């Protein structure tokens, strides 16, 4: 993890503002960026031979869009940071039209979603936003749809990333989701190391 002296000075301190993320992408300060597709996601896609319709909120550099798309999935990646969208479109090659500048809380699916992929989106937002995120996940997924990805169980007083207690995550999702799969993460970044789990939650 970068030391305090290595962290650039940014004007925006509000992660609910696109400016916050624009500054970090434009300054190449992205300690949450793996630089590729996590192994647990590769394994998940490999096990699921039937392509699905998937949304990637807060897509960042968009690596996972390529993974889903190459497997034949109908994937859409969204981010409300223009800088992130621009960078992702450059990185994903032929899949660039699937990267959309949009606010997760306002975006509407053109067809029903089978899956929402979670990767450093929930922990990017202040804790007060968690009920809104969970409600939006539930709203976008029909019964039987899945929320799959990585959940950060850190206890950081300042963020992002904003860690969540496991009991809090379970209470947050239990009304609308049931946990159907869980596993270790073998390729965590330093900022998440030892504090994240791969999970699949099914919409009730």
Residue 42's alpha-carbon distances to 47, 74, 90, 106, in angstroms, are: 9, 16, 22, 29
The 10s digit of each residue's pLDDT in 115-156 is 999 999 999 999 999 999 999 999 999 999 999 999 999 887
Please check whether residue 91 lies inside any domain of the structure: yes
CATH number at residue 59: 3.40.50.150
Confirm whether 2 is domain-assigned: no
Q: Which residues constitute the domain of residue 191?
A: 36-203
Q: Please report whether residue 7 resides in a domain.
A: no
pLDDT in tens, 9-59: 777 777 888 888 788 878 777 777 778 999 999 999 999 989 999 999 999
SS3 sequence of the chain: CCCHHHCCCCCCCCCCCHHHHHHHHHCCCCCCCCCCCCHHHHHHHHHCCCCCEEEEECCCCCHHHHHHHHCCCEEEEEECCHHHHHHHHHHCHHHHHHEEECCCCCCCCCCCEEEEEEECCHHHCCHHHHHHHHHHHHHHEEEEEEEEEEEECCCCCCCCCCCCCHHHHHHHHCCCEEEEEEECCCCCCCCCCCCEEEEEEEEC
177 assigned to some structural domain = yes
Residue 180 has pLDDT above 90, yes or no: yes
């Amino acid at each position: 993890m970068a030391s305090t002296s290595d962290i650039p000075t940014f004007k925006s301190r509000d992660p609910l503002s696109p400016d916050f993320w624009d500054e970090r992408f434009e300054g190449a300060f992205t300690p949450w960026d793996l630089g590729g597709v996590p192994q647990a996601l590769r394994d998940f896609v490999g096990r699921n031979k039937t392509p699905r319709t998937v949304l990637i909120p807060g897509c960042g550099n968009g690596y996972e869009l390529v993974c889903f798309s190459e497997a034949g999935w109908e994937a859409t990646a969204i981010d409300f940071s223009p800088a992130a969208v621009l960078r992702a479109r450059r990185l994903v090659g032929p899949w660039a039209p699937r990267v959309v500048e949009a606010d997760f809380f306002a975006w509407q699916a053109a067809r029903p979603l089978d899956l929402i992929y979670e990767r450093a989106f929930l922990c990017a937002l202040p804790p007060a936003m968690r009920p809104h995120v969970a409600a939006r996940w539930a709203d976008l997924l029909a019964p039987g749809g899945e929320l799959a990805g990585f959940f950060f169980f850190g206890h950081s007083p300042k963020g992002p990333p904003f860690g969540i207690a496991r009991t809090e995550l379970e209470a947050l999702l239990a009304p609308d989701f049931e946990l159907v799969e869980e596993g270790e993460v073998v390729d965590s970044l330093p900022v998440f190391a030892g504090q994240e789990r791969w999970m699949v939650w099914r919409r009730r």
